[in-house]
A and B are shown apart, each in its own frame.
Chain A
Amino acid sequence: MKVVSLRLALQTAVLAIVFSVAGRAEDSRTVTVSKQELQAKLEYCKTCHGLSGQGYRGYFPMPRLAGQQPTYLENQLRAFIERRRKNPVMFNVAHVLSPSMVAALAEHFRELNPNPIGGAPKEPLALGKTIYDEGLPEANIAACSACHGPEAKGKDEIPRLAGQLFPYTEKVLTNWDKERGLGSAKDTSAIMVPTTHNLTHSQIAAIAAYISNLK
């Protein structure tokens, strides 16, 4: 038992030293990510999220990142790491990213502007536009445009929705509080909870279809 506790103490001491060294290293390269590292990481992101960041329909829909708000991207990456947002694959992706890498990636995707990939049903577009622009007061659904902007470009921590993949938005709105705002930590995703509860499936599909076509 004594041996074990001695070993533990030693390990803790070693860890402490490692952390203090790592901490200093992090400070000294606050804004420096080599061009090569950034390029390799961008290619990695884009193999799933589309070679222009336009999103990709695999077995699961991979969301469009092009034109996304950097603050939103940064928040979501942190939410994956802290398990506030549930996604085993994105946890692995996010936990190796340094803060400076996250900032550089977010900046890059903000500048991209490919056309939406399309593929949404056409029938619910009119209803989608109504909900997006005006909401459904009788169902306690606020206009999406009030926060996400008239052109769905988002702002700061509020995401851009324009051009987002139809099946992705559909899944996100359907599963909102099963996938987001988990754990006890405070999370901006709580704002959306009442709205997602009030939406019916066909209203979700209508919104998802409408925003998927916005440029």
Chain B
Amino acid sequence: MNRIALQVTGFDECISARTWIMKRIKSKIAILAIASLAAGPLLADESVRVRNCTWCHGISAQGFSTAPRLAGQRYQYIENQLLSFKEHSRDNPLSKQYMWGATANLSPQTAHDLAAYFSALPPQAANDGDRELVAAGRTIYEEGIAESNIVSCLVCHGPNGEGVREIPRLGGLSYSYLKKRLEQWGEGFHAAAEPMPQIASQLSPNQIEALASYLSFIEYDSLER
């Protein structure tokens, strides 16, 4: 929270902060380039497959437009999702449009390798939510709203949205991706991902916006895997 509180500054500070952030991003890109090179030999014969993912998810897999960040995601989660696209149980509109085709000929071994590759990349926070909703989102995330039968997200996704095993890391994913996933569970998509349909259908549009905003700002200083 300190990190987030520090970022909620006045306009003047924002400008100097932006220069600082740009510097940080540049240095991170350099690190990423090295990291990708280092990861390269692992998947030397699979570079084409990685390229097929990064067309949409971005060269450093930080996500782009509607394609979510894959960098730093839990590998068991990535693997499971790839298989669920292939089996068509993840049936969200854009999954259907892009990921069903992308995974149609995916072998379990390739799914495993891709998951290992992307989970090892360091994630950056999208930072694209509404800062004014961060406090409200954090309260729902940590405590739930018992009166309205809304459960705490923390008990499964971890104190900092870090995820564990097959439970996804949420911290720093983009606001628009998080918002859409939560909305679509309420609309009946990806019904197999119990208990998320039950949870998300209890959330109001305002609560979804608050949660997605809070999560979009979470960063990880050191990556625990």
A interface with B by C-beta (< 8 Å): 40-41, 43-44, 46-48, 51, 56-60, 62, 88-89, 92-93, 95-96
**Which residues from chain A contact B158 at a C-beta distance below 8 Å?**
59
Q: How far is the CB of B2 from chain A (nearest CB, A)?
A: 19
Question: In the assembly, what is the distance between CA of A96 and CA of B202, in Å?
Answer: 17
Comparing B10-18, B36-44, B83-91, B143-151, the segment that makes contact with chain A is B143-151
With contacts A59-B154, A60-B155 taken as known, whether A47 is within 8 angstroms of B164 at the C-beta atoms is no
Contact B143 A59 (CB under 8 A): no
Which of B157, B162, B163, B199 interacts with A47 by CB under 8 Å? Answer: B199
Interface flag for B184 (CB, 8 Å): no
Residue B156 interfacial (CB < 8 Å)? yes
> Could you say which of B142, B156, B163, B164 contacts A48, with CB atoms under 8 Å apart?
B156
Contact pick for B155, options A43, A44, A48, CB 8 Å: A48
Taking a contact as CB atoms under 8 Å apart, the answer to whether B195 and A92 are in contact is no
A148 smallest CB distance to B (angstroms): 26
Do B155 and A59 touch (CB < 8 A)?
yes
Interface centre among B146, B156, B194 (most CB of A within 10 A): B146
Smallest beta-carbon distance B143→chain A, Å? 5
A76 to B114, CA, bound (A): 45
Pick from B152, B162, B167, B195: contact of A89, CB under 8 Å: B152
CA distance A40 to B155 in the complex (A): 20
Q: What residues on B are CB-neighbors of A92 within 8 Å?
A: 143-144, 146, 152
Contacts of B159 in A (CB 8 A): 59
- Residues in A neighbouring B152, C-beta threshold 8 A: 48, 89, 92
- Decide: B155 and A93 in contact? CB cutoff 8 A: no
From known contacts A47-B195, A47-B199, infer whether A93 and B157 are also in contact, taking CB-CB under 8 Å.
no
Q: Are B147 and A96 in contact (CB under 8 A)?
A: yes
- Please, which residues of chain B bring their CB within 8 A of the CB of A60? 155-156
B149–A43 CB distance below 8 A: yes
